[in-house]
Structure 1
């Protein structure tokens, strides 16, 4: 009898000491399992896809204000109409109202200035959402980029779609006739100019006259080039393959893939999170320096 009582007490103690698995616990366990299973590891980071931001249309030419986390992009509607948009960190999307047609944006992150390219020149976007005319009055500006020190601006105008280096008062200092169009116009800290022609990426090195096709990148499938906060140069194709670019040798190295198709634009924020624009959505892949699932049993 005594042995039976001891056994019953031991069983009761074990039951009481075992945590009760609630529905919430089961949900957390399933969520963690899915999170860890879908984790992507390359480029010295672990990436996990965040909740996508649904939009209506195709995002293009994304740029990020690193200080505020705001994402600027051109929205192309199903009717092929363009408008400039800003995605706030809160998830709210706002249309930027401009005089005329808004066509693309760029951010001078050193001086915290957002520039808007329109068919009536270049405007500055203010923190309160208002705009003011900056330069190139009357010019139909399709694409725009600024040097890392904010001192030099490059624009691509329509209908010639040629790239010009301009002063703050809109005077053209230099025309880069070797660049057939300004799509995907990007400049790195050494003033090398990157652009895309028929979705193929090229570099016009600073001081050179002939652009070079970047080796190691697929032809007719590139979505753009982006310079990160740490001055690393990345490219991505329409199948979400990420590449690092060696500007000196005009070559690229494949880093990994985000398992996304139909990529039209991409960018990196100040924390190296990767933003990918596809039809009807902006996807965010959160970057972790250390494996957040290191203790998860495989």
Structure 2
């Protein structure tokens, strides 16, 4: 039987914005069944990742391009043929993060959660977006044995198709798939220069999803990712952060950066003292195997902890335009 409601809480694109005490207080207020991280914890911030690994919540994470920022550059200067074995100094930071996360790191893996009737499918870690593996190619081939986009797509789809019957499937990637638009404001659209445009999604993830959908044997509800920040470059406004496909799969980008805003509480209300922070989370509610609500939620943490406000991205009660 389905639980009446399950809560997913993706926590995306931290970029060093993490405080053990304050973020744990916020999580206790939200009471999630599962916490998801889509990477970019920092530029190989081993200490932060280790801290998150100790978080006393059920969690799954995938490392992003910033999480191999320096190591990928070292690999890109080396021969990464099958016989190549990099020296330890090139790998310590990436290895340390993977060792801290252990089974919580979901890249090219699947996490089956029987009590929630849910399977989390890990896409390609360390993604920079676009048609190549980019600087992380050497890391991906050495750590995961993946040799190219087709191989990657096959690995991801195989994981999904082997999920337990009756489980809802949620794909977790650092970046989203191709096929969701090519304008700068689109959910995976290029935005980093005045002339830039184009689809910067991951083609292997799109191919994997296509194969799973064609098989028709599993209930794919969500694809969750980050990487492409909500605020567009050059002051061009904000990115579309959620789309619903013609296949009714919901694609959500929760890379709200910065995700922490600090204020002097005493200036806002005389009864408050000291510094308060607003901390952003994207909260996803599932009910009976279907997405019920998705919201960008800001939690106020100070003398007390409470949900300050939320921006609803999706509600099953409101008609949604498909792409």
- Please give the TM-score of this superposition, normalised by the length of structure 2: 0.29
| Larger Rg belongs to | 1
Task: Choose between structure 1 and 2: higher strand proportion.
Answer: 1
Task: Choose between structure 1 and 2: higher helix proportion.
Answer: 2
